[in-house]
């Protein structure tokens, strides 16, 4: 199938998911009430923001996962491998429990971003040779250390603080600030997509190993660090926006690669669009299944992603 | 005749058993309270001198702050409590059962019961009156509580407006609220409020879209130190737009099922009347 046709199919799916995201939710709103007294219905406004946030977060996670899986040549690689989730969790928990959340709405996301970036920098600083495997191991170590510290912080927290930290870790796109969070994250995603599209050939070569890439004129070590840093930054920004959302960055790129092959120029945009559609649908499901309480989107991605992934895995095995 | 004897004998035996068990329930010695509401109740019943330690959250009356702390309601500091050798530890049901067993094995009486609403409060008053040998004070408190509740209920019946629909915000992110059978729900009802969360019990986390759909008249803000103004998600809520966000004068009086909750209800009621009467006046002004 031609690349343009594949992109169109994924684009149609993403648009359909976005439309559903605006149409469905806890409240039933007739189309005639979408605009009231010349202004957008606040419920519709809320849905538009969270649907856009789900799209950007889903796309960023899918792209991040795609890069991690390619560079580390490991289909189990996911966006949080280099200590992003542990660092961000520790940052957010610290902000909540030490009372910095009282400084304003943006304090928790900023501390989460800070925690993720610091964890990432620690990984890059601690691993001298900076080969993919060693960065991976360094990421696991720093992530484990951050997660242990997070548990210590949670142990000393009050019940409301603990609920805040746990809910933040489960992931949600409900409280995203369109100007201060969504806009910068969208710009970063767009820039990452352009960079990766241009350097897609290098990413392809890296999937065959650093020596192979080096022999084809790619500075493998520098490119590995740049790509992993970019992928981790994408993950860190999404974590600061919406908490820790699992499965999207693992399952979506894996499925897209299985369906359309390993050319990153061909699968980059479809993976981003599939990630966006997946997270928008997961968010809708969380809102519709439990309208009052609302299921955390991270829970829905795991609940939906796991069986779908296993089904696809078995199907492709049976086919081969 | 035999039937009559049996009719009189069985209740007599039961009464004897109950009175014996009541006698056994009396504890003499120090008391550790791990619940702020129970600490307030012990003091209100005139038994503050019996308290030897408190939880980290117990901060009323002011004088209890001088007492040493012994953990919180869920996690008592066992070694500290054991070293104090109290006769009784009181708290709600959240205490880890293993911790409670450890205290009991050390010969300390442990009283753990829910403390969530008016019924629980009445039970605790009776129980404390019995345990701390102050039945008269407990009786007086029961009468006072009944009189205050009757007073609020009668005011509700004669009110010239429907109850205001309210959202109780316990925490803003995630949005934790007070559900159908919670203490804020009960005290709010006596103050003239109707909770918009009717299907969920306890303290559920709810969606903003649900809040927008239900469109509460007023938001009672218990999220101490949190600011709804900096969160853009809150701006779409009409109660926020019209400045109908009420911060209780003393949220601990409304969140603790203790002797102060009736004063808390009266304050909340007065604040609501002030909020809505000024709004009404401004709306009807030429």
Residue A106: which CATH number? 1.10.3470.10
pLDDT band at A208 (very low <50, low <70, confident <90, very high): very high
ipTM score over 0.85, yes or no: no
Residue A16 pLDDT exceeds 70: yes
Question: If you average pLDDT over residues A260-269, what whole number do you get?
Answer: 93
Distance from CA of A164 to the nearest CA of B (A): 6
Q: For B26-141, CATH number?
A: 3.40.50.1980
What pLDDT is attached to residue B283? 52
Inform me whether the C-beta atom of residue B212 falls under 8 Å from chain A C-beta atoms: yes
Question: If you average pLDDT over residues A41-67, what whole number do you get?
Answer: 95
What pLDDT is attached to residue A155? 78
Inform me whether the C-beta atom of residue B59 falls under 8 Å from chain A C-beta atoms: no
What pLDDT is attached to residue B11? 45
What pLDDT is attached to residue A244? 87
Residue B74 pLDDT exceeds 80: no
Q: What is the DSSP letter of A290?
A: S
Q: Is the peptide bond before B61 cis (omega within 30 degrees of 0)?
A: yes
Q: Cβ of A27 and B209 within 8 Å?
A: yes
Chain B residue closest in CA terms to A177: B232
Out of B174, B206, B208, the one facing A46 most closely (by C-beta) is B208
Residues 78-137 of B with CB under 8 A from A: none
CA distance B243 to A33: 24
As given in the structure block, the two tokens for residue A36 are 């009231």
The CATH T-level fold of domain B159-284 is Rossmann fold (3.40.50)
Q: What is the DSSP letter of B76?
A: B
Q: What is the 3-state secondary structure (H, E, C) of A2-47?
A: CHHHHHHHHHHHHHHHHHHHHHCCCCCCCHHHCEECCEECHHHHHH
Residues 6+ apart with CB under 8 A from A12: none
Which of A77, A52, A73, A84 shows the shortest CA–CA distance to A62?
Answer: A77
What pLDDT is attached to residue A236? 87
Name the 3-class secondary structure at A208. Answer: coil
pLDDT band at B85 (very low <50, low <70, confident <90, very high): very high
Inform me whether the C-beta atom of residue B233 falls under 8 Å from chain A C-beta atoms: yes
Distance from CA of B130 to the nearest CA of A (A): 31
Chain B residue closest in CA terms to A41: B236
- Min mean pLDDT across A147-156, B145-154, B177-186, B258-267 is at A147-156
Q: Cβ of A104 and B227 within 8 Å?
A: yes
Residue A100 pLDDT exceeds 80: no
Q: Which of B200, B209, B235 to mutate to test the interface with A (most CBs of A within 10 A)?
A: B209
Residues 6+ apart with CB under 8 A from B281: none
Average pLDDT, chain B: 86
Residue B174 pLDDT exceeds 90: no
Out of B200, B226, B232, the one facing A292 most closely (by C-beta) is B200
Range of the domain at A178: 3-319
Predicted confidence (pLDDT) per residue in A129-187, tens digit: 677 788 888 888 998 898 888 888 887 777 667 777 777 788 889 888 898 899 999 99
Name the 3-class secondary structure at B164. Answer: strand
Residue B101 pLDDT exceeds 60: yes
CATH 3.40.50.1980 domain span(s) along chain B: 26-141, 159-284
Enumerate the residues of chain B whose CB falls inside 8 A of the CB of residue A101.
173, 226
Distances (CA, A) of A309 to A79, A283, A298, A320, B132: 17, 18, 16, 17, 62
Inform me whether the C-beta atom of residue B200 falls under 8 Å from chain A C-beta atoms: yes
Residue A318 pLDDT exceeds 80: no
CA distance B3 to B20: 26
pLDDT band at B105 (very low <50, low <70, confident <90, very high): very high
Inform me whether the C-beta atom of residue A243 falls under 8 Å from chain B C-beta atoms: no
Inform me whether the C-beta atom of residue A294 falls under 8 Å from chain B C-beta atoms: yes
Residue B118 pLDDT exceeds 60: yes
CA distance A152 to A144: 12
Question: If you average pLDDT over residues A290-318, what whole number do you get?
Answer: 81
Average pLDDT, chain A: 88
Burial class (CB in 10 A: 0-12, 13-18, 19+), A185: buried
Place of tokens 């969160």: B231
Distance from CA of A268 to the nearest CA of B (A): 32
CA distance A286 to A39: 27
CA distance B151 to B262: 10
Q: For the residues of B172-238, what is the DSSP string, one character each?
A: TTTTEE--TTSHHHHHHHHTTEEES--S--SS-B--HHHHHHH--SEEEE--TT--STT-GGGGG-H
pLDDT band at A269 (very low <50, low <70, confident <90, very high): very high
pLDDT band at B254 (very low <50, low <70, confident <90, very high): very high
For the question of whether the overall pTM of this predicted structure is more than 0.95, the answer is: no
pLDDT band at B215 (very low <50, low <70, confident <90, very high): very high
CA distance B213 to A27: 6
Give chain A's domain count: 1
Enumerate the residues of chain B whose CB falls inside 8 A of the CB of residue A108.
173
Q: Cβ of A293 and B207 within 8 Å?
A: yes
Distance from CA of A298 to the nearest CA of B (A): 14
Inform me whether the C-beta atom of residue B230 falls under 8 Å from chain A C-beta atoms: yes
Where is A150: in which H helix or E strand? Answer: helix A132-155
What pLDDT is attached to residue B212? 92
């Amino acid at each position: 199938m031609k690349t343009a046709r594949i992109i169109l199919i994924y684009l149609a799916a993403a648009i359909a998911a976005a439309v559903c995201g605006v149409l469905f939710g806890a409240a039933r709103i007739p189309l005639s009430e979408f605009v009231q007294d010349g202004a957008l219905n606040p419920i519709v406004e809320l849905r538009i923001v969270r649907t856009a946030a789900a799209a950007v977060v889903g796309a960023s996670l899918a792209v991040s996962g795609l890069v991690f899986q390619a560079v580390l040549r490991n289909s189990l690689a996911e966006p949080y491998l280099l200590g992003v989730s542990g660092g961000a969790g520790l940052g957010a928990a610290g902000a909540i429990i030490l009372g910095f959340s009282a400084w304003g709405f943006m304090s928790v996301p900023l501390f989460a971003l800070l925690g993720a970036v610091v964890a990432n920098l620690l990984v890059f600083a601690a691993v001298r040779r900076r080969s993919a495997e060693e960065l991976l191991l360094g990421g696991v170590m720093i992530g484990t250390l951050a997660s242990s510290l997070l548990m210590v912080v949670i142990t000393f927290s009050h019940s409301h603080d603990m609920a805040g930290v746990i809910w933040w870790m489960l992931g949600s796109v409900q409280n995203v600030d369109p100007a201060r969070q969504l806009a910068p994250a969208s710009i970063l995603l767009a820039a990452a997509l352009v960079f990766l599209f241009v350097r897609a050939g290098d990413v392809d070569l890296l999937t065959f190993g650093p020596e192979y890439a080096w022999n084809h004129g790619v500075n493998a070590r520098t490119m590995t660090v740049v790509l992993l840093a970019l992928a981790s930054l994408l993950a860190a920004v999404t974590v600061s926006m919406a908490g820790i959302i699992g499965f999207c960055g693992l399952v979506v790129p894996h499925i897209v690669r299985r369906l359309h092959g390993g050319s990153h120029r061909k699968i980059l945009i479809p993976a981003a669009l599939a990630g966006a559609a997946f997270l928008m649908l997961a968010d809708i499901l969380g809102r519709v299944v439990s309208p009052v309480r609302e299921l955390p989107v991270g829970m829905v991605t795991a609940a939906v992603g796991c069986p779908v992934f296993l089904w696809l895995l078995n199907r492709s095995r049976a086919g081969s | 005749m035999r039937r009559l004897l049996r009719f009189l004998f069985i209740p007599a035996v039961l009464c004897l058993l109950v009175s014996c068990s009541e006698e056994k329930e009396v504890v003499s010695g120090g008391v550790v309270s791990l619940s702020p509401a129970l600490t307030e109740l012990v003091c209100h019943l005139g038994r503050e001198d019996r308290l030897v330690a408190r939880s980290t959250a117990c901060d009323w009356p002011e004088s209890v702050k001088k007492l040493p702390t012994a953990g919180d309601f869920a996690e008592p500091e066992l070694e500290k409590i054991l070293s104090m050798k109290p006769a009784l530890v009181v708290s709600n049901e959240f205490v880890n059962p293993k911790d409670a067993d450890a205290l009991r094995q050390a010969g300390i009486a442990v009283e753990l019961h829910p403390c969530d609403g008016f019924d629980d409060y009445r039970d605790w008053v009776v129980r404390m009156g019995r345990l701390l040998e102050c039945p008269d004070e407990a009786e007086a408190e029961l009468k006072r509580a009944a009189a205050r509740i009757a007073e609020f209920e009668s005011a509700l019946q004669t009110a010239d407006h429907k109850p205001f629909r309210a959202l109780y915000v316990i925490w803003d992110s995630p949005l934790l609220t007070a559900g159908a059978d919670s203490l804020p729900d009960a005290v709010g009802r006596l103050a003239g409020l109707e909770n918009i969360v009717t299907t969920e019990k306890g303290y559920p986390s709810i969606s903003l879209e649900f809040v927008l759909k239900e469109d509460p008249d007023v938001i009672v803000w218990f999220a101490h130190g949190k600011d709804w103004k900096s969160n853009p998600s809150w701006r779409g809520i009409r109660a926020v737009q019209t400045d109908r966000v009420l911060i209780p004068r003393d949220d601990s009086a409304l969140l603790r099922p203790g002797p102060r909750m009736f004063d808390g209800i009266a304050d909340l009621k007065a604040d609501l009347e002030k909020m809505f009467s000024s709004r009404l006046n401004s709306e009807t002004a030429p």
